[in-house]
Every structure is written in structure tokens, then in C-alpha cells.
């Protein structure tokens, strides 16, 4: 539809609503993608800004679009389902439904393991050397998760930030000869910290999931990871049998 019919009994904003929804359904406007600005929509449909805003607001309320502060309005990504019966990664789950993501390495540092990190990685001693790798995961410039991974330096002496940025963490592990093959995860509802809210561009009271993952190669722990994930992005399911 190039322009809504102004002599129609159907209000202009409803015609625009239906046309945008058709574009979303037909994947002309892809999931996760940003839609045109209000001004661009006004030009596209030759209507006032008030009319466009009403159509867009109704699409947001209906769950077809989502606004991201400072970024614009985007086609909502349907909840990505991760089945808890098998090993998965965020990037592979998104790729399976045709969505590309970017995992930005925010920090890569060597540190001495203390406290629960020693226990989670099953290290033999306090202050063993580990790498802490902090990454921000995004789809179409919209962040959906921030995660901190801790891996034993003794297993990955030649791990680099450049390798993780280019190949991903698990692929980098495989390239160094130690492939992750299984993991144990713990999920809980959580409140955002100030830094997490800033990185994820969310209000401080937005509900999120905290996921603690311990990853293994055989009986050897190769990673402890703590992820903070937007509550509207992924769902998790498990099959139960009597």
C-alpha cells in the first residue's frame, strides 16, 4: 500500500497499522530490524505524525513492535526457545532462526581466581590465573545480554581477545584443542545493576534473567559464565516425562 484511502470507512491509522503488520508478517521488515522513523512513515503514507504515532503505538501495545531508548522502534523478535535437553549457545540459537548477532568484547583480562570462582572452576588452589572475558551481545545494535566468562589460563594459555572477538569464545576454545561439550545452568530472576542497565539500555527496574553456567570438557571445567539476559528475549523449555 502506497497511501491509505482517505475516503475509506476504516480510520487512517488502522490502515497503516494493517499495512505495517503485513510488512512484518511477510518479513519485508525483518524481526529485530528497525522500522522507518515517524517522519519517514509520514512521507511513506502521506499522513500526519499524529496518525502515524497512533498506528505505531497500537503495534507496540499489541507486541509487534518494541521501542528501544535512543535507538528507535524495532520489529519485535519472537521469543527464542532454548530446549534445556541439549547444549546450546546464544549465537547458534539466533542463527537457527535467521538472526545474526554481534558479541562485542568489552574486557579481556588476566586475574587471580578467588572465592566462588575457584569453586566453580574446580581449581586446585586459590589465586590460580584465569581469564575474565566480558562481552555484550546485540542484535541490530540492540543489546540483549551482558556476560562475564571465567576460564582457566592453564587450559588456554594462548587465548586472546582478538580470537574471541573474531571466532567467538567456544570456537576459540576448540581451536586451542579443548572443546566444550556439556554444561550445567542455573536460572533465577534478578534485578539489574546500574552498569548492566546502562549496557543493556534498560531501566533499572526492568526484569531480567541471571544465568550461571558451568561448562565442561569431559569432567574438566572449562568455563564459569554469569549472563544477564533481557527477560523478553529468550524462553527456556524442558520436556518432562512420568
Digit-coded pLDDT (tens) for 83-112: 555 666 677 666 766 677 889 999 999 999
Decide which of 1.10.10.10, 2.60.40.1890, 1.10.4160.10, 3.20.20.70 is the CATH code for 12-75: 1.10.10.10
Across 18-94, where does the E strand assignment appear? 65-68, 72-75, 80-83
Residue 234: band (very low, low, confident or very high) from pLDDT cuts 50, 70, 90? low
Rounded distance, CA 152 to CA 201, Å?
Answer: 31
Q: Which residues pair with 82 in a beta bridge?
A: 236
Which 3 state secondary structure label does DSSP give 133?
strand
Which 3 state secondary structure label does DSSP give 224?
strand
Tell me if 73 sits within 8 A of 35, measured CB to CB: yes
Query: Residue 171's pLDDT is what?
Result: 93
Helix (H), strand (E) at residue 49: helix 49-61
- Determine the average pLDDT of the residues in 207-236: 88
Helix (H), strand (E) at residue 183: strand 182-190
Higher pLDDT, 83 or 167: 167
Decide which of 3.20.20.370, 3.40.1410.10, 3.40.462.10, 3.90.220.20 is the CATH code for 80-237: 3.40.1410.10
Which 3 state secondary structure label does DSSP give 241?
coil
- Determine the average pLDDT of the residues in 7-16: 89
Length of the chain: 242
Query: Residue 62's pLDDT is what?
Result: 84
Amino acid at each position: 500500500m502506497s497511501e491509505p484511502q482517505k475516503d475509506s470507512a476504516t480510520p487512517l491509522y488502522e490502515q497503516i497499522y494493517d499495512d505495517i503488520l503485513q510488512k512484518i508478517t511477510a518479513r519485508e521488515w525483518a524481526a529485530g530490524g528497525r522500522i522507518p522513523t515517524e517522519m519517514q512513515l509520514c512521507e511513506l503514507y502521506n499522513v500526519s505524525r499524529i496518525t502515524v504515532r497512533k498506528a505505531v503505538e497500537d503495534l507496540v501495545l499489541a507486541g509487534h513492535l518494541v521501542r528501544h531508548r535512543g535507538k528507535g522502534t524495532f520489529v519485535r523478535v519472537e521469543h527464542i526457545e532454548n530446549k534445556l535437553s541439549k547444549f546450546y549457545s546464544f549465537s547458534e540459537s539466533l542463527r537457527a532462526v535467521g538472526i545474526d548477532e554481534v558479541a562485542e568484547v568489552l574486557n579481556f583480562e588476566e586475574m587471580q581466581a578467588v572465592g566462588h570462582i575457584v569453586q566453580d572452576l574446580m581449581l586446585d588452589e586459590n589465586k590460580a590465573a584465569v581469564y575474565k572475558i566480558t562481552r555484550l551481545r546485540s542484535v541490530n545494535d540492540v543489546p540483549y545480554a551482558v556476560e562475564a566468562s571465567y576460564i582457566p589460563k592453564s587450559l588456554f594459555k594462548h587465548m586472546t581477545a582478538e580470537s574471541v572477538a573474531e571466532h567467538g569464545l567456544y570456537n576459540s576454545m576448540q581451536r586451542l584443542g579443548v572443546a566444550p561439550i556439556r554444561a550445567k545452568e542455573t536460572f533465577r530472576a534478578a534485578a539489574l545493576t546500574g552498569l548492566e542497565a546502562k549496557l543493556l539500555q534498560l531501566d533499572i527496574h526492568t526484569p531480567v534473567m541471571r544465568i550461571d553456567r558451568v561448562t565442561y570438557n569431559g569432567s574438566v571445567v572449562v568455563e564459569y559464565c554469569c549472563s544477564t539476559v533481557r527477560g523478553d528475549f529468550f524462553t527456556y523449555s524442558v520436556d518432562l516425562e512420568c
